[in-house]
Structure formats: C-alpha cells, structure tokens
Amino acid sequence: MRIVLLGAPGSGKGTQAALLKEMYGIPHIATGDILRTEVAEGTELGGKAERYMNEGGLVPDDLILEMVEARVRRPDTRRGWLMDGFPRTLEQAEGLRIMTERIEQRVDAGVILNVDPEVVVRRLSGRRVCESCQAVTNVSEMRAGACPLCGGKLVLRPDDEPQVVRRRIEVFEQQTRPVFEYFREHYDVVDIDASKTVDQVTEALRRGLDRYDHS
Ligand SMILES: [Zn+2]
C-alpha cells in the first residue's frame, strides 16, 4: 500500500502518520528525515543538498525527488510506504507521479486531512514544547503551567507564533492546496475530517485505508 498523506499545517498529519506506520507496518517517509539521513550518511545526494543549504537556498525539486526515489527503493518498502510532507507544490506532485510510475510503484491513494482554518490556528498557537524533555503538548494539557510529563518549562516554538502560523497557512493555501486537486484528478482520494479527536481520525483512516492493505 502506497499512500500519500496530505493536509494543512496543524491537521495532525505527523501524529496520524506515526499511528498509520504502526497499524500497517510500512515505513513513514518524510522528506525532512530523508534529507537529514542523506546529509548525515555523507551520500553523494546528501552532499549536493548540503551545498544548497549552506548557501541558504532551497534544495531543488529534482534533487529531493532523487532522494525520495532512493528511499522508496529501499528493501523495507516491499509492503508499501506512507509519505508525509511531500509533495508540497504542483511541480513536486507531477514529479512524484512520473517517478513512481517509472519505477512501478504507483501511489494507491492520497489521503486528505481536511481541517477548518480556525481549528488549525487554535491547535498550532496552543502547541507548546517542553524545554526539559522536548515533549510537544497543548496548553489544555498543562499542569500548573508546566509540562505534564516532567514539570519542565513549556515554551512556544517560533514556528507556532500566531503571525508565523498565519503565514504558513497562506503559503499552504497558495502552494499546497492545488496539490489536493491534482491528487483528485490522478488518484483515489480518501477524505478525512481531521477536526475530530486523534482517535476518531485514526479510526476514520483505518476505515478508509484497509482496502489498500494487500499484505
Ligand atoms: Zn517535559
């Protein structure tokens, strides 16, 4: 089963990806992780990517696609894979479709986590990270204003500042929303209401995705 998980920032994509990975026993492929691994292992692709990053630039799409291809060809993807955080633009979506078809790993379905923009702002601006144990939590789970796990100090990440959140949502609407329509044209799409609780969303994903699990 080859699944691409799509959703706005704050749609709970990362959380659900981790749960789906366990549920179906397939690797979770996130481009950020691939990039870090290639750089850390000092591969040729990693070296190229590092040069762009050191110059403060973005890693170009064709290089990211090469890394994604190398990743989905690893032996642990025999039963499939779950992609998250990619593609973010129409060009990347087109590149991914062409590449996966060329290597005969066509995507089975796109999963769209639909969430109200107001819910996104509330979720992200309520998110805190613990300075001591690095746990990510929400203001609603704080205990006496501190980390519910270790009592450490909770801080707002720069990425979750309200004005940064609004900017991230704008970029998402301009660049990534069109990817959803691209998936609707080219693939099966499973629409999920991601405004619900984590457990409800996981259950909806299970109902939507079981038919693609051929293991
Ligand atoms: Zn803590």
What is 12-39 written as a DSSP string? SHHHHHHHHHHHHT--EEEHHHHHHHHH
Q: What is the pLDDT of residue 131?
A: 94
pTM of this prediction?
A: 0.84
Query: Helix/strand/coil (H, E, C) string of 101-119?
Result: HHCCCCCCEEEEEECCHHH
- Give pLDDT tens digits for 120-133: 888 888 889 999 99
Q: What is the pLDDT of residue 63?
A: 93
pLDDT band, very low/low/confident/very high, at 215 (cuts 50, 70, 90): low
184 included as an active-site residue: no
Where in the sequence is the domain holding 20, given as residue range(s)? 2-27+74-116+169-208
In a domain, 140, yes or no: no
- Give pLDDT tens digits for 191-201: 999 999 999 99
196 included as an active-site residue: no
Question: Can you say how many angstroms the Cα of residue 190 is from the centroid of all Cα atoms in its chain?
Answer: 16
In a domain, 91, yes or no: yes
| Ranges assigned E (strand) in 93-202 | 109-114, 127-130, 136-138, 154-155, 188-193
In a domain, 85, yes or no: yes
Mean pLDDT of the chain: 91
In a domain, 50, yes or no: no
Instruction: Give dist(CA 57, CA 118) in Å, integer.
Output: 32
In a domain, 193, yes or no: yes
- DSSP assignment, residue 196? S
How many independent structural domains does the chain possess?
A: 1
If we measure between CA atoms, which residue out of 35, 36, 37, 40 comes closest to residue 63? 35
pLDDT band, very low/low/confident/very high, at 187 (cuts 50, 70, 90): very high
- Give pLDDT tens digits for 69-86: 999 999 999 999 999 989
Q: What is the pLDDT of residue 120?
A: 84
Ligand 1 centroid distance, CA of 83 (Å): 29
Residues in CB range of 213: below 8 A, 6 or more apart: 1, 24
Ligand 1 centroid distance, CA of 19 (Å): 22
In a domain, 143, yes or no: no
In a domain, 215, yes or no: no
13 included as an active-site residue: yes
- Give pLDDT tens digits for 6-19: 998 889 888 899 99
For ligand 1, a single-atom ion, the residues with CB < 5 A are 130, 132-133, 135, 147, 149-150, 152
127 included as an active-site residue: yes
CB 89 within 8 A of CB 176: yes
Q: Which of 2, 71, 123, 127 is catalytic?
A: 127
Q: In this structure, what CATH number is given to the domain that contains residue 84?
A: 3.40.50.300
Instruction: Give dist(CA 157, CA 125) in Å, integer.
Output: 9
207 pLDDT above the threshold of 70 = yes
Q: What is the pLDDT of residue 213?
A: 85
Report how far apart the first and last C-alpha atoms of the chain are (Å, whole number).
8
In a domain, 154, yes or no: no
71 included as an active-site residue: no
Q: What is the pLDDT of residue 54?
A: 87
